[in-house]
Amino acid sequence: MSKELADRAAAELEGAEALDVLSWATTTFGRRLAVASSMQDAVLAHLVSRVLPDVDVLFLDTGYHFAETLATREEVDRLLPVTVVDVLPRQSVAEQDAEYGERLHDRDPDLCCFLRKVDPLATALQPYQAWVSGVRRDESPTRAQTPVVTWDDAHGLVKVNPLVRWTRADIDAYESEHDLPVNTLTGNGYPSIGCAPCTRRVAPGQDPRSGRWAGTGKTECGIHR
C-alpha cells in the first residue's frame, strides 16, 4: 500500500457517499482494515459493519474516560456486529502516576496523550493495512481540509475518513434512523468528547472542539495530523 494509492483514491472518492468510500476500503483491504472509535457515538462502527461485519473496532481505553463513554462502548459491543478491541496503554493510571507524578494531563498534556493514546494506537494498528477514522471537516479549522482518503505517514497505513463531509446534524439523523446507542454527553454540552480531565462543556455556537484541552493551546491529541 502506498501514498500513490491513497492520493488516487482521495481524488476519485471526493464527494462519494460514506458507504461507497467504505465499500472501496473493504474491497481494497478486506480484513486488514480496522476502525478507531472514541465512542463519542456509534455511527462509524455501524457504518463500517454494514460493509464489513465483525470489523475490529479499536477503542483507546485511556483510564480517564467519562462513564457515559464507557457505557457507549458497552452498548456498541453488545448491539452491533463488530468486534470491539480495547487498546490499553503500557501503564495503568497508577503506574503512570508513580513514574511521572499525578495529573500529568495538567502539566504535560502532550506527553499524557502520547502515553495513553498515540503510542497504544500505533502498536494496535501494526497488523492492519488501513484504518478508518470519524474525523469531520466541520469539527474545527484544523480539520477543514481533511481528505476522504490519505496516507498516514506516522503509521505507514492508508487512513480512510468517510465522514469528512458530514455535519453534527447528519450524525444525529443517522443515529435516529438506525436507533443507535447514543453517548448522552453529546446532548449535554459536549459536542467533542475526550478524556474527562481534559474535556469541558462548550456554549452553543462555539467551535465544537473548543472544550478539548481548553486554555492550553492544544487542539489535537497527536493521532490526527
- Cα–Cα distance between 137 and 112 in angstroms, integer? 26
User: With contact defined as beta carbons under 8 Å apart, do 200 and 214 qualify?
Assistant: yes
Distance CA 172, CA 142 (A): 23
CB count, 10 Å around CB of 51? 18
Grid coordinates representing 200 are: 469541558
| Amino acid type, 155 | H
Cα-based distances in Å from 170 to 60, 77, 186? 25, 23, 14
Q: Please give the positions annotated as active site.
A: 221
All cell numbers assigned to 194 = 475526550
> What φ, ψ does residue 35 adopt, rounded to 5°?
-110, 135
CA dist., res. 211 & res. 213, Å (int): 6
Three-class secondary structure of residue 75 per DSSP = helix
Q: Based on C-alpha coordinates, what's the Rg of the chain? A: 17
Closest CA to 133 of 156, 169, 158, 167: 158
